[in-house]
Structure 1
Amino acid sequence: MAKDTTGRLHVQVKTGGKRKLSSKLWLERQLNDPYVAKAKREGYRSRAAYKLLEIDDKYRLLKPGMAVVDLGAAPGGWSQIAARRVGSAEGKGKVIAIDLLEMGEIPGVTFAQLDFLAEDAPARLLEMMDGRADVVMSDMAANTTGHRKTDQLRIVGLVEAAALFASEVLNPGGTFLAKVFQSGADAELLAQLKRDFASVRHVKPASSRQDSSERYVLAMGFRGGA
């Protein structure tokens, strides 16, 4: 082991056997990521929890008693934070987590294994919540192909779908938060969000890896709803 520039021990993974270089690099990055270690110590299901913590600390999205929808929630790091911040485990708010994958139980979180792209998904969610949401958030990332233009289209398409879903379930004044990449939300989506919300900005929490093009679009003050 060697030390990095901060003085921490840096774990190096040996190549060999059937392990691909990409797998070696991913494993090495995980082993040396302070947020991965911190998440394990503090009981969060993923390092992504710290991204939402940072964004919420700065912009105050999550308040006690709110109704929150977490799209693509598994493994549940964002749902954990939302449940704690809105007080859903104590009956003060609601957190509905949606994913195609199964997700282990989290106190204060209602999980629905469904496709949010399904035509009846918004209606099913509204029924589950017995009302509209105050926050719709998404840390989803589209499956990548390695082809830059194709991947960008997939990413944009997923964010657009999440934004459309949000517009169908949010309360007036509600918030939409979603992961985007590279230059952020594309011009068409950004224009739509600016029509639908009072304020729209891109944010990059410190816990996002610095070598990542990951950013988030944060839209607050939903003008629609019923």
Structure 2
Amino acid sequence: MKSTKKNKFSAAWLMDHINDPYVKLAQQQGYRARAAFKLTEILDQFQLLKPGATVVDLGATPGSWSQVVRERLKNKSGPGIHGRVFALDLLPMEPVADVTFLLGDFREDAVLAEFESLVGDGAVDLVLSDMAPNLSGVGAADAARVAHLNELALEFAVSHLKKRGALVTKSFHGSGFSQTVKLYKEAFQKVTEYKPKASRSNSSETFLVAQGLKAAGRE
């Protein structure tokens, strides 16, 4: 019985995915995932990205968010970009032009040291996290996994952002969400919950846009 229900759910999801206008639009515009349009709307809404920015994309694979950032920072009068983009993930990612990819867990000392050696003395302007856990279907366990990833992104951002920098993190409404928002508000001057149009209406997915560190930050 469970297998039949699962097969029906998978078939329904696949049909929705195939007919999704953002999936088709992503294919037409060369993006690797429909998530590109979520970030596009967030960047437009909050004006988070400026020329010359240093951006970190956590959980970057397959790379659609890095593609969007790279396009936004592209030099208008020549090759390359005006800024720097670093993408990190546990999974391999096909190269994106002008994006530096690091394969590994950013919590590990070796990966973090490699990243910091590349960034040098310059602090980060924007941290992006589209990280999501492998869901088990057990509500409490999945909520705990989501909250943990949100906290990891927050810790990374607090350690590397400029004082006026920003953090964009994917989260989900449910158990533990209010506690996550509280943590973000303790660290940032402004925290906004935002659901882009490209985020499916039947999903509890939402994004936290955190701006301006309360602590000293890096200049």
Report the TM-score, using the length of structure 2 for normalisation.
0.89
1:117-167, CA deviations, whole angstroms, 9 ceiling, x for partnerless residues?
224544332211222211011111111111101100110011101110111
CA distance in 1, matches of 2:200, 2:32: 17
CA RMSD of aligned residues (A): 1.8
Picking from 61, 67, 92, the partner of 2:48 is 61
* Kept in 1: contact 2:188–2:210 (CA 8 A): yes
CA distance in 1, matches of 2:21, 2:69: 22
Q: CA shift at 1:106, angstroms? A: 0.8
CA distance in 1, matches of 2:137, 2:177: 20
Q: CA shift at 1:183, angstroms? A: 4.5
Picking from 167, 186, 208, the partner of 1:195 is 186
Does 1:114 find its partner at 2:101?
no
Partner of 1:94: 84
Does 1:28 find its partner at 2:19?
no
1:67-104, CA deviations, whole angstroms, 9 ceiling, x for partnerless residues?
00000001011000111112376231000000111111
Does 1:175 find its partner at 2:166?
yes
More RCO (CA 8 Å, sep 6+): 2
* Kept in 2: contact 1:126–1:132 (CA 8 A): no
Q: Which amino acid in structure 1 is aligned with residue 217 of structure 2?
A: G
For structure 1, the residue ranges without an aligned partner over 5 or more in a row are 1-18
CA distance in 1, matches of 2:107, 2:69: 22
* Equivalent residue pairs, number: 208
Does 1:215 find its partner at 2:206?
yes
Picking from 57, 60, 63, the partner of 1:73 is 60
Report the TM-score, using the length of structure 1 for normalisation.
0.86
Partner of 1:104, secondary structure, is coil
Partner of 1:225: 217
**Are residues 222 and 120 of structure 1, via their aligned partners in 2, closer, same or farther at CA, if it must alter by over 3 Å?**
farther
Which structure has the highest helix share of the two? Answer: 2
